[in-house]
């Protein structure tokens, strides 16, 4: 039996983005209640391959036709092709074996689904029925609703609510892992920030990015001691110490000198990136100073206080099923708790931040970030990479419009934290971005959808928004619709909206928008060929 040891907190890199977790939980819905067997796993994985949810690099290197299908968003694998890929990668991919699962795809299935199980969204064991929890179903529902036209129903549980519920409970040493560290890392982080703010006289609140490894490696739930440790570390090494010093300090916290077992990059780079993504997705954590400082979002302080007050007492779970049941229930009081913030304060933070980013970002930086929205590697920006792609798209579009046309009044409708950074896509039955000028008013709508559902999910909503947007206007008013690609059905629906409701919607691909944006003098140039 492997000796228990202190190990740094590590989430699954295969499930780095929260929307990815929702998609994988959704894929299990048809199998709820069915026994998990190798054959069931085969059916599930083939579905993943068809929907391109997992990478198929091994077969893509050998077969050009499969590589072209994988890289083309308008194409998909047939069932026969997916079955071939399944068998080919089963024979040609080396890998380890997880306890309780056969080597190959069964173990890889567990690799993908283990984090959703740790978060309490699903539960599975070989030869036992697959279970999907209350929070798992809510996660799927919130994800599905986020990809459709938003309604004014404020009772809808948002994706960030589900992850806040999960992270408030999550334990580093849960029954699915073997670790001597005993804490709830999210609660430890929040409490430590509070203790630092209330007891030590630093000019800025929060924990610096280079101090996050201490949260990852801290052996217990003692936030007071961790805050003192960070305070003492700052006095000794400053607030911008080297990664090497941080790494050596973390090895001492882990009571280890095994640099092969605990790699430098894992502790000071990958682990930090991963936990910040998870902190940010809850909606109660803000990044400050270009991502150098991680702090509490003051617009959600009541929620933070609720988490600290109700999840401060750490109760360790040793039984996997009991832990799943604990994680899988929703804390309705937590979800319904909100800090009352004046709408003017929210609007001010949003506009102040938008102007700041439009001033700081070079046109080449903006273009690079637009390209990253559709690239495999995604954004590498120290702040933007922590924002989900759909939300980032709305933010980038707002920044681009403000940058290029500073005299226009650019009003995005995405919710924001106290830094003015977006926390999710626009909600509440309004357009994504409203732009007002002397000559023209423009409603800008963006989506990362590519398939024919783009026309059904987006165009009717844009049409409704445009009818309200242009009401009683004497000047020109129209909508820009920007997506990675424009489906033929979308063009048909746009034509129908014009004939039935007399609204003008101009569709542009991201590439078309970027080219026109770079060469434009005013916003009306974007609609010209």
Spatial distance between the Cα atoms of 82 and 46, rounded to a whole number of angstroms? 6
What is the DSSP pairing of strand 476-483 with strand 505-509? parallel
Spatial distance between the Cα atoms of 309 and 377, rounded to a whole number of angstroms? 39
Query: 269 near 187, Cβ under 8 Å?
Result: no
Domain 183-315 shares a fold with domain 343-527: no
0.85 surpassed by pTM: yes
Query: 521 near 483, Cβ under 8 Å?
Result: no
Residues 198-219, buried b or exposed e (16+ Cβ, 10 A)?
A: eeeeeeebbbbbbbbbbbbbbb
Written out in words, the top-level CATH class of the domain with range 343-527 is: alpha beta
- % of the chain exceeding 70 in pLDDT: 97
> What integer pLDDT is reported at residue 150 of this predicted model?
46
Query: What would the pLDDT profile of 462-499 be if each residue is shown by its tens digit?
Result: 999 999 998 877 789 999 999 999 999 999 999 999 99
pLDDT at 345 > cutoff 80: yes
Query: What would the pLDDT profile of 257-300 be if each residue is shown by its tens digit?
Result: 999 999 999 999 999 999 999 999 999 999 999 999 999 999 99
> What integer pLDDT is reported at residue 428 of this predicted model?
61
- pLDDT band at residue 520, thresholds of 50, 70 and 90? very high
> What integer pLDDT is reported at residue 151 of this predicted model?
45
Report the candidate in 231, 170, 234 with the shortest Cα–Cα distance to residue 195. 231
Spatial distance between the Cα atoms of 110 and 108, rounded to a whole number of angstroms? 5
pLDDT at 44 > cutoff 60: yes
- % of the chain exceeding 90 in pLDDT: 80
Other beta carbons within 10 angstroms of residue 193's beta carbon come to: 23
List the Cα angle 300/307/10 in 5-degree steps.
Answer: 100
DSSP three-state, residue 445: strand
Query: 462 near 445, Cβ under 8 Å?
Result: yes
Spatial distance between the Cα atoms of 444 and 481, rounded to a whole number of angstroms? 6
pLDDT at 528 > cutoff 90: no
Other beta carbons within 10 angstroms of residue 518's beta carbon come to: 13
Give the chain's mean pLDDT: 92
Give residue limits of the domains in the chain: 13-161, 183-315, 343-527
Provide mean pLDDT across the span 46-64.
91
Query: What would the pLDDT profile of 423-458 be if each residue is shown by its tens digit?
Result: 999 976 789 999 999 999 999 999 998 877 889 889
- pLDDT band at residue 324, thresholds of 50, 70 and 90? very high
Spatial distance between the Cα atoms of 464 and 361, rounded to a whole number of angstroms? 33
> What integer pLDDT is reported at residue 3 of this predicted model?
66
Provide mean pLDDT across the span 2-24.
82
pLDDT at 152 > cutoff 50: no
Please provide the CATH number assigned to the domain covering 183-315.
1.10.10
DSSP three-state, residue 188: helix
């Amino acid at each position: 039996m492997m000796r228990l040891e202190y190990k740094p907190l590590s989430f699954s890199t295969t499930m780095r983005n929260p929307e990815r977790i929702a998609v994988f939980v959704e894929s299990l819905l048809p199998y709820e209640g069915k026994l998990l067997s190798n054959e069931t796993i085969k059916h599930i994985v083939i579905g993943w391959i068809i929907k391109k949810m997992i990478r198929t690099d091994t077969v893509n290197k050998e077969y050009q036709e499969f590589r072209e299908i994988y890289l083309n968003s308008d194409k998909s694998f047939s069932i026969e092709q997916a079955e071939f890929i399944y068998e080919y990668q089963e024979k040609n991919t080396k890998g380890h074996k997880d306890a309780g699962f056969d080597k190959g795809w069964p173990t890889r299935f567990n690799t993908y689904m283990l984090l959703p199980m740790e978060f309490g969204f699903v539960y599975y064991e070989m030869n036992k029925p697959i279970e999907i929890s209350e929070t798992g179903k809510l996660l799927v529902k919130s994800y599905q609703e986020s990809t459709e036209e938003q309604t004014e129903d404020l009772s809808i549980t948002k994706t960030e609510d589900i992850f806040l519920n999960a992270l408030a409970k999550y334990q580093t040493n849960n029954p699915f892992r073997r670790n001597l560290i005993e804490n709830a890392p999210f609660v430890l982080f929040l409490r430590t920030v509070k203790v630092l703010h209330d007891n030590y006289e630093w000019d800025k609140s929060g924990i610096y990015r280079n101090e996050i490894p201490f949260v990852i490696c801290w052996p217990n739930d003692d936030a007071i001691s961790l805050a003192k440790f960070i305070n003492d570390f700052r006095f000794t090494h400053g607030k911008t110490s080297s990664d090497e010093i941080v790494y050596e300090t973390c090895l001492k916290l882990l009571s280890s000198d095994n640099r092969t077992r605990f790699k430098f990059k894992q502790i000071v780079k990958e682990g930090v990136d991963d936990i910040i993504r998870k902190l940010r997705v809850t909606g109660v954590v803000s990044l400050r100073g270009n991502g150098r400082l991680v702090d509490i979002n003051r617009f959600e302080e009541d929620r933070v206080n609720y988490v600290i007050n109700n999840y401060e007492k750490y109760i360790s779970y040793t039984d996997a099923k009991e832990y799943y049941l604990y994680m899988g229930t929703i804390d309705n009081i937590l979800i319904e708790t909100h800090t009352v913030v004046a709408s003017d304060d929210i609007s001010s933070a949003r506009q102040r931040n938008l102007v700041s980013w439009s001033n700081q970002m070079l046109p080449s930086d903006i273009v690079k970030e637009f390209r990253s929205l559709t690239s495999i590697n995604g954004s590498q920006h120290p702040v933007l990479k922590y924002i989900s792609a759909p939300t980032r798209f709305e933010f980038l579009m707002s920044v681009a419009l403000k940058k290029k046309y500073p005299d226009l009044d650019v009003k995005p409708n995405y919710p924001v934290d106290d830094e003015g950074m977006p926390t999710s896509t626009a909600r509440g039955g309004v357009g994504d971005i409203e732009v007002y000028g002397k000559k023209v008013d423009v409603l800008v709508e963006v989506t990362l959808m590519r398939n024919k559902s783009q026309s059904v999910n987006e165009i009717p909503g844009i049409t409704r928004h445009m009818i309200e947007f242009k009401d009683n206007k004497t000047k020109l008013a129209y909508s820009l619709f920007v997506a990675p690609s424009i489906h033929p059905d979308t063009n048909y629906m746009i034509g129908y909206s014009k004939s039935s409701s007399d609204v003008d919607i101009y569709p542009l691909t991201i590439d078309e928008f970027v080219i026109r944006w770079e060469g434009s003098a005013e916003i009306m140039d974007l609609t010209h060929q």
